[in-house]
Structure 1
Amino acid sequence: MSAEPELPAKRDMVASLEKGLQVIAAFDQERSRLTIAEVAERTGLTRAAARRYLITLTHLGYMRHDNKLFALTPMVLRLGQSYLHSARLPRIAQPLLYRLAYSLGEAASVGVLDHDQLVCVAAASAGQLVSVTLQPGTRVPAYCTANGRILLAHLPPEQVQQFLERAQPEQITEYTLINKQRLALEIAHARTQGYALVDQELELGLRTIAVPLKNFRGEVVAAMNISVHAGRMPREQMVERCLPALIKIQVELNALL
């Protein structure tokens, strides 16, 4: 993974843009509608400032309100679509993902790290409904996904240690690893073997195996996985059936990135 970028000088930052984006990010799956006071609490803004940002975003079409509750509108999707349509990685990966998915009759996806979360940027399915998380734009915890774990495995050791120190793993399923020592061992093992296999830690019935994707400088920039339903493929067959196909597409993508 590339080194952390240097922080810009404060004079070069547009504070109003930063705070406006914080207001948008305050809304999530658990709290899709918020009051002015709740937005202020989540962003650290004063209530007066939160009100101004919400009114501005409503005027621009990114927000709507019903009485005292504000919610995002579909217009916010334009921000994500701008990335998906302009970024090189999704455009290059998508055709090869289709080929990978249909060669195995399963689902495939490419994801990148965003802080401690994995964001799906491209996905393909061979008609198999595996998981709703395998869609561009979805965000899931990195520690309990194959794509996330292989990306964590290729961070510099000090960044892996920092991640483990701040991580608060939750018992999402009965199989989710929440012991940090075991998680550290799994991350190290993924780096050594070159792939990560996660069995039903994010969703019951969901098994995934992932490999890293590197650019022309040899930097890990993303991860690619195959996801299967546990009822269709036993864990012991994942490496035998899926890994060779993953590696074949991995080599092609690495040459293009």
Structure 2
Amino acid sequence: MQRAMRLLDAVASHEAGAPAKQLARESGLALPTAYHLLRTLTHEGYLRREKGVFLLGDAAERLGASAARQNRRAMIGETLAHWRDAIGVPVYFAIYRDGEIEVVSIADTTGKPAVEEWADFRETGHAHAIGQCLLSQLDREAQREHLDRYPVRPLTPNTVSDERTFLRRLEGMERMALVVEHQEYALGTVCAAIPITVGTTAATMAISLPLCQVDRLLPAARTLQEELGRLLRTFAFSISI
């Protein structure tokens, strides 16, 4: 495995590809061993051979893309954990991609737990701050299409009761303003979400608190919002997750 990875690293260092002898030399392998591994890696799709040189194949590129996504997720997780500790609240990062609400990462602790997902976040965007924030960034056609797939339904006595009322609420939201939700998704919980738009991608960073700490919600959200400009580069890089 290590020898194969050395060969893959050697191939990756040559954008235009390299012949077997050069790759064997650079990876410190005997030529017969290098030939055997190159044939195996080519057969499995990790390499491809063109005009006597070896280049990365589709499987290797997918592997690299997967590793890059994992690195970006780790970077997001570290950033959220920093603000969880600095502000003392659970912190969430979510995006709207391919017509779906996707919670990418959550940073919480045993003492400061995140909201329990008792009803699928993807299907209940009308009821929680994350979903409301993401949907508010879409045009009306995209909003209606989303609600056609995931109809408005009451989750608590505080949840908006019908689609028309919810669309009016979205229309009344100031663009890129903080979105606050009180016990609409879960009784005893309040949330706030900060909109982030990078290019055409809607995203949000959000926080949650128990109802007994509602007085902390807006100050904590505004603290995070003030710092968001400094963080945008990190999150812009992560949008492609």
- 1:5-44 deviations in Å (ceiling 9; x for gaps): xxxxxxxxxxxxxxxxxxxxxxxxxxxxxxxxxxxxxxxx
- Indicate how the Cα distance of structure 1 residues 138 and 177 shifts in structure 2: closer, same or farther if over 3 A, else same: closer
In structure 1, the partner of 2:233 is 255
- Given that 1:131 and 1:206 are in contact with CA atoms closer than 8 Å, whether structure 2 keeps it comes out as yes
Unaligned runs of 5+ residues in structure 2 are 1-64, 237-241
1:224 to 188, 192, 205: 205
In structure 2, the partner of 1:244 is 222
- Indicate how the Cα distance of structure 1 residues 130 and 162 shifts in structure 2: closer, same or farther if over 3 A, else same: closer
In structure 2, the partner of 1:75 is none
What is the CA-CA distance between 1:116 and the residue it aligns to?
A: 6.1
Alignment pair present for 1:147 and 2:130: yes
In structure 2, the partner of 1:52 is none
- Given that 2:115 and 2:189 are in contact with CA atoms closer than 8 Å, whether structure 1 keeps it comes out as yes
- Indicate how the Cα distance of structure 1 residues 138 and 123 shifts in structure 2: closer, same or farther if over 3 A, else same: same
Unaligned runs of 5+ residues in structure 1 are 1-81
2:143 to 148, 160, 177: 160
State the number of aligned residues.
169
Alignment pair present for 1:123 and 2:106: yes
- Indicate how the Cα distance of structure 1 residues 124 and 204 shifts in structure 2: closer, same or farther if over 3 A, else same: same
- Indicate how the Cα distance of structure 1 residues 148 and 89 shifts in structure 2: closer, same or farther if over 3 A, else same: farther
State the identity %: 17
Alignment pair present for 1:187 and 2:176: no
- Given that 2:137 and 2:202 are in contact with CA atoms closer than 8 Å, whether structure 1 keeps it comes out as no
What is the CA-CA distance between 1:140 and the residue it aligns to?
A: 5.1
* TM, length-normalised to structure 1: 0.56
Larger Rg: 2
Once residues 167 and 225 of structure 1 are traced to their aligned partners in structure 2, the CA distance between those partners, rounded to angstroms, is 21
In structure 2, the partner of 1:35 is none
1:201 to 184, 201, 205: 184
- Given that 1:154 and 1:191 are in contact with CA atoms closer than 8 Å, whether structure 2 keeps it comes out as no
Letter in 2 for 1:238: L
